[in-house]
Amino acid sequence: MLFNTFIDQFKQALNRKEFIVFGAECKVNYSGRAETYLAKGQRVIIIKQDSSIQVHQPFGNTPINYMKEGTDHSLRLLPEGLLLSSYNIPLGEFMDITIHKVLFFNKVKIDDGHKLQLTGTEQDMSNMIYENPSIIEKGLKSVKQEEQTQYGFIDLLCNDENNNLVVIECKRFKADFSAVSQLRRYVERVKEIKGINNVRGILATPSITANAEKMLTDYGFKFVKIEPPKYMEKLKRSQKNLSEF
pLDDT in tens, the chain (245 residues): 789 899 999 999 999 999 999 999 999 999 998 899 999 999 999 999 999 999 999 999 999 999 999 999 999 999 889 999 999 999 999 999 999 999 999 999 988 877 766 667 888 899 999 999 999 999 999 999 877 767 678 899 999 999 999 999 999 999 999 999 999 999 999 999 889 999 999 999 999 999 999 999 999 999 999 998 876 555 455 444 444 44
Confidence at residue 1, expressed as pLDDT on a 0 to 100 scale: 72
How many CA atoms, within 13 angstroms, populate the side-chain half-sphere of residue 243?
0
From residue 178, alpha-carbon distances to 16, 76, 107, 175, 185 in Å are 50, 53, 48, 8, 11
Tens digits of per-residue pLDDT, 160-219? 999 999 999 999 999 999 999 999 999 999 999 889 999 999 999 999 999 999 999 999
Q: Domain 122-225: which topology?
A: Trna Endonuclease; Chain: A, domain 1 (3.40.1350)
Tell me how far apart the alpha carbons of residues 239 and 229 are, in angstroms, rounded to a whole number: 16
CB count within 10 Å of CB 43 equals: 24
pLDDT value, residue 245:
44
C-alpha distances in angstroms, 190 versus 122, 145, 146, 149, 180? 20, 13, 13, 8, 15
What are the start and end residues of each CATH 2.70.180.20 domain in the chain? 3-108
Q: What is the pTM of this model?
A: 0.59
Cα–Cα–Cα angle for 59, 99, 80, rounded to 5 degrees: 145
What span, in angstroms and rounded, lies between the C-alpha atoms of 222 and 166? 10
β-pair partners for 97: 28, 84
Strands 35-47 and 165-170: unpaired
What is the pLDDT, as a whole number, of residue 48? 96
Assign 214 to helix, strand or coil.
Answer: helix
Domain with CATH 3.40.1350.10 in the chain: 122-225
Mention the CATH class of domain 3-108.
mainly beta
